[in-house]
């Protein structure tokens, strides 16, 4: 049985029933793969005392016919390690786990033998693993005739393993779930957390559990945490005594099963994890160090200089950010990972706030000499989203025509309700009957778009939308977003053909950026050290987003006219922590309100379909056209 089959069983074991769609989403595979794998498992599963049945309206259900036989079979699978990686994703997880537990150099041929793959396949998987290691300041060190090994801090290695588990890397989860000690650790944590009044989110409780397990496993294998005398004294002074006492009780309660956690530095490491993710009793306002305020000032200055967005007078934002930075400071200094389950929704629903948070994080990366995780950035994004909602709106109102059936009473009702729903977004609202539509002066009245409740399709020189005569709240929200979006005419003034660089071939990110910056220097008045500034902005790998897109960091570079430079690579290129094929470089004129443009560009980050179209057919006119309709779906 492979790891995917076992992962499906593990999902079903924890639920009464689960649809193929839910299983596919949890395991990052297609529904077809899930259904196919369940069919393949049928005979083997039945021979070991279980079957997967379908419950109408609920999905798949794991029906255990013989509990003893099924439990014994599962134990055997783990004990004999029959679950081997059978996909690139699983092999990458295996490589992360395997290389981080190797004390000596390991030969590539040995890894090929362990995984039963060819060198070319392993090379591809190692490149993916290298991208993941990069996020944690870990490197694959290679020596001729010796092989390879991972170099970096022990805390970074533990963080890497724990975060890969929380990101549902199936191979690592399989290894952990095969250990019965994990249940004991979970029981002790739950009991002592309750006793001490320790509060944290459910995801952070899970991370703490994983951290305890990984810490014990690594310490037993000789990979111990070691603090300097100065670090030890600083932690003992900085960590609250209730947290230190809780760490003492936890390690005492786990002494029999996890003896390696009883060492003093391991206790301090655990206390540090606890303090970074939660608190005991009432959350008191702590005295905030002066350097935290300095960091916050630098963050807001970065957003102001790079994006022309000024939040320096927002007292609510400043207060929230000061307290958040105090907790983040400890996590960054001592490598305490956190998990935000709302991170994907933040990126999808509030892309502009997420982009602002990424820019704000640049000074933090510079200060701590490491990049912030997407989870940490998402917490800042929440604060920036609330701040954006407090800023005064500066929308360009639209000229809209609504097409109605001539002489119909319902049409007048439709026009009235349309005004109620969208009136604040309209410069002019015109009514036109279907009979008079051919002679309507769209150009003279500068019509931006048309709405109609008629069933039949109509051809018009402007975008037209069908809307229910009794629109739902969801429809109203959607079309308000459409009316707030930028049209092609507005967008076109931010793009120039000379700053659209396509079909770029490069062997490295640095080479691609040199070609890109060279083209920009030819067509824009930029400083002599422009290229150096751009490369410096890549220092912490914070410019690459998901979906093969990167947004470069402009810093304090000012231009006479706001513009967006674009580079499209022929093939996706390793950008440090993910692959990138499209690069955006927004350069803002001082004083211009950039919210609408930045919001439009930010929405591109979640649109795989648009990125794919642009990658296949790189064209500036196509990009502007796609951006102008980005809010319509």
Average pLDDT over the chain reads 85
DSSP letter at 223 equals: -
CA dihedral 252, 253, 257, 261 (to 10 degrees): -40
Q: What is the mean pLDDT of residues 269-281?
A: 88
pLDDT in tens, 307-365: 888 999 999 999 989 888 988 998 888 888 887 767 778 888 888 899 999 999 999 98
Quote the strand ranges of 467-562, DSSP E. 500-504, 544-545, 549-551
Query: What residue ranges define each of the domains in the chain, with the CATH number in brackets?
Result: 3-79 (1.10.10.10), 88-174 (1.10.10.10), 179-280 (1.10.1790), 290-388 (1.10.1790.10), 398-483 (3.40.50.2300), 491-628 (3.40.930.10)
What is the reported pLDDT for 251?
Answer: 93
Beta bridge partners, 431, equal: 402
Beta bridge partners, 565, equal: 585
Tell the residue number behind the tokens 């950035």, with chain if given: 377
Q: What is the mean pLDDT of residues 203-209?
A: 85
What is the reported pLDDT for 3?
Answer: 64
Cα–Cα distance for residue pair 474/526, rounded to 1 Å? 45
**In 1-81, which residue ranges form alpha helices assigned H by DSSP?**
3-13, 20-27, 31-47, 67-79
pLDDT in tens, 523-552: 988 888 888 888 887 876 678 887 789 999
- Binning the chain into helix, strand and coil, the percentages to the nearest 5 are 55, 15, 30
Instruction: Annotate 389-438 with DSSP letters as a single string.
Output: HHSPP-PPPEEEEEEE-TT-HHHHHHHHHHHHHHGGGEEEEEEEETTTGG
What is the reported pLDDT for 217?
Answer: 87
What is the reported pLDDT for 142?
Answer: 92
Residue 73 token pair: 């079979």
Q: What is the mean pLDDT of residues 435-459?
A: 84
Residue 131 token pair: 């991208």
What is the reported pLDDT for 70?
Answer: 86
pLDDT in tens, 75-110: 776 555 445 576 787 788 889 888 998 889 999 988
Cα–Cα distance for residue pair 318/321, rounded to 1 Å? 5
């Amino acid at each position: 049985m492979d790891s995917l089959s076992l992962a499906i069983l593990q999902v079903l074991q924890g639920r009464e029933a689960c649809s193929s769609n839910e299983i596919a989403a949890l395991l990052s595979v297609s529904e077809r793969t899930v259904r196919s794998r369940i069919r393949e498992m049928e005979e083997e599963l039945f021979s070991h005392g279980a079957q997967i049945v379908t419950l109408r309206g609920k999905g798949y259900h794991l029906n255990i016919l013989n509990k003893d036989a099924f439990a014994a079979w599962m134990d055997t699978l783990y004990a004999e390690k029959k679950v081997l990686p059978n996909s690139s994703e699983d092999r990458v997880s295996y490589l992360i786990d395997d290389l981080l537990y190797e004390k000596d150099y390991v030969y590539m041929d040995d890894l090929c033998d362990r995984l039963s793959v060819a060198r070319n396949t392993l090379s591809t998987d190692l490149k993916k693993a290298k991208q993941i290691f990069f996020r944690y300041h870990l490197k694959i060190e290679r020596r001729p005739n010796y092989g390879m090994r991972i170099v970096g801090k022990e805390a970074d290695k533990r963080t890497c393993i724990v975060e890969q588990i929380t990101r549902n890397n199936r191979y690592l989860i399989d290894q952990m779930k095969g250990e019965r000690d994990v249940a004991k650790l979970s029981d002790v944590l739950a009991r002592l957390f309750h006793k001490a009044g320790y509060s944290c989110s459910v995801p952070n409780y899970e991370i703490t559990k994983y951290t305890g397990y990984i810490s014990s496993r690594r310490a037993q294998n000789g990979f111990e945490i070691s603090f300097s005398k100065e670090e030890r004294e600083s932690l003992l002074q900085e960590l609250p005594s209730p947290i230190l006492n809780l760490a003492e009780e936890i390690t005492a309660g786990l002494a029999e099963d996890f003896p390696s956690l009883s060492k003093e530095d391991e206790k301090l490491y655990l206390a540090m994890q606890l303090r970074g993710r939660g608190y005991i009793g009432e959350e008191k306002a702590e005295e905030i160090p002066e350097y935290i305020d300095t960091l916050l000032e630098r963050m807001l200055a970065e957003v102001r200089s790079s994006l022309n967005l000024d939040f320096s007078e927002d007292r609510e934002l400043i207060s929230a950010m000061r307290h958040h930075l105090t907790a983040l400071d400890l996590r960054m200094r001592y490598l305490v990972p956190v998990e935000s389950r709302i991170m994907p929704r933040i990126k999808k629903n509030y892309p502009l706030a997420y982009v602002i948070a990424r820019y704000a994080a640049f000074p933090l990366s510079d200060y701590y000499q490491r990049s912030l995780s997407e989870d940490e950035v998402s917490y800042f994004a929440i604060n920036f989203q609330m701040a954006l909602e407090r800023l005064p709106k500066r929308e360009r109102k639209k000229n809209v025509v609504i097409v109605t059936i001539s002489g119909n009473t319902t049409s007048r009702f439709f026009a009235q309700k349309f005004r109620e729903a969208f009136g604040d977004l309209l410069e002019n609202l015109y009514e036109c009957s279907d009979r008079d539509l051919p002679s309507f002066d769209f150009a003279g009245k500068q019509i931006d778009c048309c709405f109609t409740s008629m069933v039949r399709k109509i051809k018009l020189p402007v975008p037209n939308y069908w809307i229910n005569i009794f629109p739902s709240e969801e429809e109203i929200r959607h079309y308000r977003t459409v009316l707030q979006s930028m049209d092609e005419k507005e967008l076109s003034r931010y793009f120039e053909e000379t700053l659209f660089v396509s079909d770029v071939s490069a062997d490295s990110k640095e080479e691609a950026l040199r070609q890109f910056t060279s083209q920009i220097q030819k067509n824009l008045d930029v400083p002599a050290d422009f290229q150096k500034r751009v490369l410096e902005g890549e220092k912490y790998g914070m410019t690459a987003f998901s979906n093969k897109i990167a947004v470069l960091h402009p810093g304090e570079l000012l231009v006479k006219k706001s513009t967006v430079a674009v580079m499209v690579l022929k093939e996706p290129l390793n950008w440090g922590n993910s692959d990138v094929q499209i690069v955006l470089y927004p350069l803002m004129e001082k004083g211009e309100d950039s919210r609408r443009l930045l919001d439009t560009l930010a929405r591109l980050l979640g649109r795989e379909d648009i990125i794919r179209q642009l990658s296949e057919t790189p064209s500036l006119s196509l990009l502007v056209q796609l951006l102008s309709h980005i809010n319509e779906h």
